Amino acid sequence: AALLPPPGGPGDAAGQALPVESRPFASYGSALHIALPQAPRAGQLLTLLIDYEAGEGPGVCWLSPEQTAGKQKPYMYTQGQAVLNRSFFPCFDTPSVKFTYSATVKVPEGFTAVMSATSWEKQKDNTFVFKMSQPIPSYLIALVVGDIVSADVGPRSRVWAEPCLIEAAKKEYDGVIEEFLVVGEKLFGPYVWGRYDILFMPPSFPFGGMENPCLTFVTPCLLAGDRSLVDVIIHEISHSWFGNLVTNATWGEFWLNEGFTMYAQRRISTEVYGLPYTCLEAATGRALLRQHMDATGEDHPLNKLRVVIEPGLCVNPDDTYNETPYEKGYCFVSYLAHLVGNQSKFDAFLQAYVNRFKFQSITADDTLEFFLEYFPELKEKGVDSIPGFEFDRWLNTPGWPPYLPDLSPGQQLMRPAEELAELWAADSLNMEAIEAMDIMGWRTYQLVYFLDQVLQKSPLPEGNVKRLSKMYPKISKAQNAELRLRWCQIVLKNNLEAEYSKVKDFLHSQGKQKYTLPLYRAMWGGSEATRALAMETFSATAPQLHVNVQNYVKKILGLAE
């Protein structure tokens, strides 16, 4: 490392060499200590030059050609959230610090580099120059290098993908993104990031989406061919205000990013698709929260909105990832809206909140204090300490949310799905009643809700699932990942050995964490045959999984060191 002279001042242009040492920090990174020649003054600007080499750590993912969609050329991407960018470049790797950045990236011929930056310029020698002009936390810096091309899908949006996927990506998203952005701006205030582009990642990408500013990374599972999974895009767009603009200062209060984003996503969805559909989607989210809390036990410490991540305990924030900050966080934001009692007043509050804290990192106390200041009449009423619904209880007591928003407008879509699941769970099937229900016109989330109901009732009486599979190829042969996940779970829960190959195929086709882990848990919790299937599938697919996902699966299968 070297200390460079202040711009325009005297001094050696090469700078003054500084002693550096690496000290232990946590199981997921070490601390870089740099000794300065003298103690700096508060507010003094220092220019440090750090010469480093990176690439081995978990933040940088190197894919072989067979892990890509095109299978011809290698690919690399970075994933910063939560604390992985420290293995990509030296930084203050905490969401409490925000900064602008620039980067110059030279790549081999035949490759393109893209980053989460407000400007992107290609220079000679296959060198790309990026600038991010807005301050962001370290976890939002992201780089991809691969054989990728782009296509415009809106006035400020393009899709990026491998050449073999670009047509599908353009078709799926042409014209829809701008509609979501416009609604988002109407609700939450100006979109400050300039462009909103989407990059379709290789199948091994472990997440549904990652809201890197200006350039959201998404799973190729979203290319369903019928625009049915765009709610993931609405979620990532919502992060443009909640998460990227107003950021949780610590990962222990991740719900400030995700609970508000779920609320914002469902506000946009309500404006675009209407209340019944949005309530149905929210009901599937609630079912995921129920499954998670049943699996961990309600009083598990992770089932609080404020999670204690003690620096001394070496809790990797990535290991705390679960449904709670998303869906319980959504319930808390919905409870705040319920206290206000008027949607347009609460929308105005959200816009004021974004405006007040934009480009800052904040705590839940900041949020709740601002809420009570904004609504003095609620503060006077003492809404922060209503017995059973105390803000403190919301934050610090694990378990099921004390308040659940009313999802009854979704009943018109849910009730038929519930009735059909009842029919299929009966000891003797009433085929006449089953055939009278036409599911051809159902939207994806209605089918998802139906399958969730079937899964809850499983194992079904002998032979029922086999008949269900035959009757609804739209479900049992679906290409849509959300449907495939649930069908695979039903196959496993009902020991439908004839279709175990579908579980294997699905796990071979993609490596998304939210699809992969539940299926391994189901296989490991099942019979000898499903345990063998788990081992066989994992040994074949391990190399194509993200290292975090590999480790989580090893834990499930008892292979962890």
Residues involved in catalysis: 236, 326
206 is in an annotated binding site: yes
24 is in an annotated binding site: no
Q: Which two tokens stand for residue 559?
A: 């292979």
Contact between 194 and 251 under an 8 Å Cβ cutoff? The reply is no
Q: Which two tokens stand for residue 430?
A: 């009433």
Give backbone dihedrals phi and psi of 136, rounded to 5 degrees, phi first: -135, 160
186 is in an annotated binding site: no
Whose structure tokens read 């480790």? Answer: 551
Long-range contacts of range 474-479, CB-CB < 8 Å, 24 or more positions apart?
A: 474/439, 474/440, 474/447, 475/447, 475/451, 476/502, 479/224, 479/225
Q: Which two tokens stand for residue 533?
A: 């299937």
Separation between Cα atoms, residue 119 and residue 125, nearest integer Å: 19
Give backbone dihedrals phi and psi of 398, rounded to 5 degrees, phi first: -70, 165
Give backbone dihedrals phi and psi of 224, rounded to 5 degrees, phi first: -80, -15
Spacing of C-alpha 452 from chain mean position:
21
210 is in an annotated binding site: yes
Beta bridge partners of 114: 144
Q: Which two tokens stand for residue 181?
A: 């952005």
Separation between Cα atoms, residue 482 and residue 222, nearest integer Å: 9
Closest to 386 (Cα-Cα) out of 344, 350, 338? 338
Separation between Cα atoms, residue 4 and residue 395, nearest integer Å: 45
80 is in an annotated binding site: yes
Whose structure tokens read 């996940």? Answer: 485
Contact residues for 545 (Cβ-Cβ < 8 A; gap 6+): 204, 206, 511, 516, 553
79 is in an annotated binding site: yes
209 is in an annotated binding site: yes
508 is in an annotated binding site: no
258 is in an annotated binding site: yes
535 is in an annotated binding site: no
300 is in an annotated binding site: no
211 is in an annotated binding site: yes
DSSP conformation letters of 504-522: HHHHHH---HHHHHHHHHH
379 is in an annotated binding site: no
Which residues carry a binding-site annotation for Zn(2+)? 235, 239, 258
Which residues carry a binding-site annotation? 79-81, 206-211, 235, 239, 258, 512-514
Which residues carry a binding-site annotation for a peptide? 79-81, 206-211, 512-514
